[in-house]
Structure formats: C-alpha cells, structure tokens
Amino acid sequence: MDRVLEDFVTALRLAGVRISVAETLDACSAAALVGYGNRLLLKDSLGAALAKSGREKDLFSDTFDRFFCEFPCTAVVPERGNDAPGDAPLPEDPLSRMLLQGDQASLAAALQEAARAAGIRAIRLPTQRSLYTVRILNALGLEGLDGTIRTFSGAGSGVSLAQADALQAARQELVDNVRQYVEQQLDLYGRGLVNEYLEDALRKTRLSHLEQRHFEKMGELIRRLVKRLNDIHSRRRKAARRGHLDFKRTLRHNIPYGGFLFDPKWKQRKLNRPDVLVICDISRSMMRLVRFFLLFLYGLNEEILRIRTFVFCSNLIDVSDVFERYPVEVAVDRLQQGTGLPIVMGLTDYARSLKDFRMQYMDIVTRRTTVLFLGDARNNNSDPDAHVLRDIYQRCKRLVWLNPEPRSFWGTGDSEMKRFLPYCHTVRECNTLDHLERVIGSILAATRH
C-alpha cells in the first residue's frame, strides 16, 4: 500500500504542497496506524501529517478527493436479454473476456495496473496525452482484443458476428475510458508544472506588462521572496545581539552592595537598523512598478528595516502614515487611487517635487539614510533641477536610483536620466520581480555594516 502513498505524495507535491521525506514517513506510519478502512479517518490522519497551513489543507483536500476516487469503467458489453448467445465460447484473450463478462471491477483494476506499468505518474504536459493513452491501451492488451474481434468476424456465423460487433463497440468505449483516465491523471500530476512555468515566467516578465489576473499569484510570489529575505537577515541581526559579560558595568552597578558581585550586567551591541527613505514617482507609467516595489519593501520585517515613503507626481507628499495605518495591500491601493491624499496627478514634475522634499524633509536625511529613488526621469521636457538631488546625495549614506526603463533608453526623448546620473551612488534598471529581489537584497546586505 505504501506505493499508493508514494504516488499520492507525488501528486500533492505537484499540486504545490511542500512535503519533506520526514513527513512522508510520518504519513506512512499514520496510515499504518489508522488503516485504509475508513476514508474520512485516513483523510484526517494524512492531512495532519502532510498539510501544514490553511492553503495546504485546501490543496490537500482537493487532491485527496481526486486521487482516491474510483474511476468507473463503462466499457463492457451490455447484457442482453434472451437473445444473448449464451452458448458462444469465451475467447482466450483476458481483455475480451472481461469485456464480454461485464466485469467492471476487474476491468478497473486492470486499468490501474496498466496505467502503473505505463508510468502514468510521469505525465506532465497536455501533449503527452495520446502517448500515454496508447501505452495504457497496449498494456491492457488491446492487441489481443483486436485479434479476438478479427477471429469472430472471420468465423462468419451470426453469433460470432454479433459478438464481434459488440466487442467493437466496447473497444471504442474502452479507448474513450482510457482517454478520460489519462485526462484525469494529467489534471492530477500536470498542474504543478504549469504552475512552475507560470512562476518562472512571472518573475521575468516586465512588471508593467503584467496582466491583472496574475496579480494574486504575484502577491504570493512576493510573499515567498520576502520571507526568504526576512529569514536571512533577521538571523544575522539576532546573532549580533547576544552579549558578553560587561565587567565594568557589573562592577559599577554592584558598588552599592559592598563590592559583592551578584547582579551581572551584559554587554549589548547596538543594532544597526537600516534607515530607508523611499521616494517614488507615481505617475501612471510608474504605478505598476511602485506597487510591487512597495509590497515587497513593506513585507520586510519592521525590525530589519525602518522605512519612510514619499510619493510624487506634480508635487511631493509624505505617505508613511498611510502604511502605518493600513495593511500594505490596502495602503498601495489607496496610493493608486489617491484617496484623501493632497497629491496633484498632473504632469510629472521632478523639479518641483525635489524642491518640496528639500524644503520640508531634508532634515530626516542623515549619514545613516539610504535613499531609494524610483522614477523613469521623464520630466515632460522641463528642467529637472538635478542639483537639488545633489544636496540629498551629499547628505545621505547611499542614493540608489531604480529606473524601469532599459539603459539604452536613458537620455532619449524627455528622459533626464543622464542629468541625474552623477548624483547617484548606484543606478539600476529595475522592471521585473527578479530585479526587485536582487536590488532589495543588496540594500539589506549593504546597510548592514
């Protein structure tokens, strides 16, 4: 029975449930303990051992129902009334025999066996359907059946001819059955791969070209990437916190107790939490990128990163409090619609926005601040006053400019990128999820010393 579990685990993995070998072993012992007799009990037990989150529970339940369902084989010669040729000899070939006897149960079992022999577990792509159908049919013994049909029709007697016709019909039905079976198995094993392809493609697609229907998937992808970054960096922060005995402080602290040292004090290293200041251009051309960027950034653990966010179009405003008040998704939506925000969504004006920033917020830029500037630097043919950026550049620790346009487009048309270039520490082209991950990873790593 363990082979069944193995297949089931494969199907689950392909459906997107992450299962380790240890968990498979747990599932085996759980199944051994409760047995296969009670379907619901088995489902509960395997569910406890294999699916470890709400999402996985749903996937599990769905896959369980599809995996442990009986496949009905309808391809049998229908029993006829009195005119049934009871005296006709049963053929040698087992498949024809099963069909003629109307033995659905054995037929279903034979189908399962044939499918296993044909290696149906390996089916992944819709184009493999015919291949597996043929393989299973061969393993079932289609050739024998064809032989029987030929013999019957060759025999010439009325009874045999009727038998041959009936078998021919059953054969058609059988082929149909096997096709459906393969379809079902493809649904079971093939889904995961499609998912994988999709994820891979999504990571490399330009964010501005992304379709609305993939947004949910993107959210999920971002959550996974963010979790990884969180894991990597929070561990390091914690490691830095462990202290040693601070002897000087212990002595000082224990002086009132007559020099008896019984209240030890510990050395504490101050943690370095990077200060990040984000300035985003939220004109229509930039909104998609900004959306995903902020989803990414605000997903990061608060302990790793301290963020203040400013957005601009025709003028610049501080939106940090929007992110404090609402969950990230809601906050990003509010930015997109501009609800309750004093922002003018006219022509993008870099000069005005930069000056706004210098006027009101220059004092929060310190030597520890990393400034992230998201913009395409398209200023509608007016002077961008790039020297204001220089003031920020000189005050901050690091200024990173992320531009969604490819490098070759910088400086063409109304792009003023070339004039901003001298005042940036780092400039990156950034328009896919892969880029985003790399950029944010490097920010976290660089601000860590």
For the bound state, the minimum distance from the C-beta of residue 61 to another protein, rounded and expressed in Å, comes to: 11
The smaller minimum CB distance to another protein, of residues 19 and 123, is found at 19
Q: Does 23 bind another protein (CB under 8 A)?
A: yes
Query: How many angstroms separate the most distant Cα atoms in the chain?
Result: 120
How far, CA to CA in Å, does 292 sit from each of 55, 335, 378?
Answer: 22, 12, 20
Residue closer to another protein, measured from CB, 81 or 327: 327
State how far the Cα of 351 lies from the Cα of 98, in Å rounded to an integer. Answer: 84
Within 38-57, the residues that bind another protein by CB under 8 A are: 40-41, 44-45, 47-49, 51-54, 57
Judged by beta carbon, residue 30 or residue 166, the one nearer another protein is 30
Smaller CB separation from another protein, 227 or 248: 227
**In the complex with another protein, which residue's Cβ is closer, 179 or 253?**
253
Closer residue to another protein in complex, CB, 299/441:
299
Residue 235 in contact with another protein, rule: CB under 8 A = yes
Please name the helix (run of DSSP H) or strand (run of DSSP E) that holds residue 399, with its range, or none: strand 398-403
Q: According to the binding rule CB under 8 A, does residue 159 interact with another protein? A: no
For another protein, the closer of residues 23 and 146 by Cβ is 23
Q: How far is the CB of 41 from another protein (least distance, A)?
A: 6
Using CB under 8 A, which of 26, 146, 183, 429 touches another protein?
Answer: 26
CB of 157 to another protein, least distance (A): 60
Bridge pairing between strands 426-429 and 306-312: unpaired
**Smallest gap, in angstroms, from Cβ of residue 239 to another protein?**
8
How far is Cα 417 from Cα 429, in angstroms, rounded to an integer? 11
Q: Does 178 bind another protein (CB under 8 A)?
A: no
Please, which residue, 109 or 251, has the CB nearer to another protein? 251
Q: Does 227 bind another protein (CB under 8 A)?
A: yes
**3-class SS string, 319-373:** CHHHHHHCCHHHHHHHHHHCCCCCCCCCCCCHHHHHHHHHHHHHHHCCCCEEEEE
Give the shortest CB-52-to-another protein separation in angstroms.
4
47 vs 390: CA distance, rounded Å:
59
Q: Which of 39, 80, 238, 269 binds another protein (CB under 8 A)?
A: 238
For 54-204, strand residue ranges (E) read: none
Rounded to a whole number of angstroms, the minimum distance from the CB of residue 86 to another protein is 50
Report the DSSP beta bridge partners of residue 312: 281, 316
Q: How far is the CB of 326 from another protein (least distance, A)?
A: 13
Residue 262 touches another protein, criterion: CB under 8 A: yes
Nearer to another protein, 31 or 186 (CB): 31
> What is the C-alpha separation between 394 and 371, in angstroms, rounded?
11
Tell me the residue length of the chain.
449
Q: Please, what is the minimum distance in Å from the beta carbon of residue 43 to another protein?
A: 9
Quick one: tokens of 366? 């310190």
Q: Decide: is 30 part of the binding site for another protein (CB under 8 A).
A: yes
Question: What's the angle, vertex CA 238, arms to CA 235 and CA 243, rounded to 5?
Answer: 145
Give the integer Cα–Cα distance in Å for 335 and 428.
24
Q: Binding-site residue total for another protein (CB under 8 A)? A: 31
Residue 366 touching another protein (CB under 8 A): no
Question: Which residue number, 18 or 267, has a Cβ lying nearer to another protein?
Answer: 18
Q: Which stretch binds another protein (CB under 8 A): 18-26, 202-210, 288-296, 366-374?
A: 18-26
CB of 340 to another protein, least distance (A): 18
| The amino acid at 386 | A
d(CA 4, CA 10): 10
Q: Does 264 bind another protein (CB under 8 A)?
A: yes
Q: Which stretch binds another protein (CB under 8 A): 80-88, 174-182, 260-268, 405-413?
A: 260-268
How far is CA 396 from each of CA 192, 287, 433, rounded to the nearest angstrom? 46, 26, 27
Strand, helix or coil for residue 307? strand
By CB under 8 A, residue 255 contacts another protein: no
Looking at the Cβ atoms of 40 and 69, the one nearer to another protein is 40
The secondary structure of 172-214 as a DSSP string is: HHHHHHHHHHHHHHHHHHHHHHHHHHHHHHHHHS-GGG--GGG
Nearest Cα to Cα of residue 399 among 276, 271, 310: 276
Residues that bind another protein (CB under 8 A): 18, 20, 22-23, 26, 29-30, 33-34, 40-41, 44-45, 47-49, 51-54, 57, 227, 231, 234-235, 238, 260-264
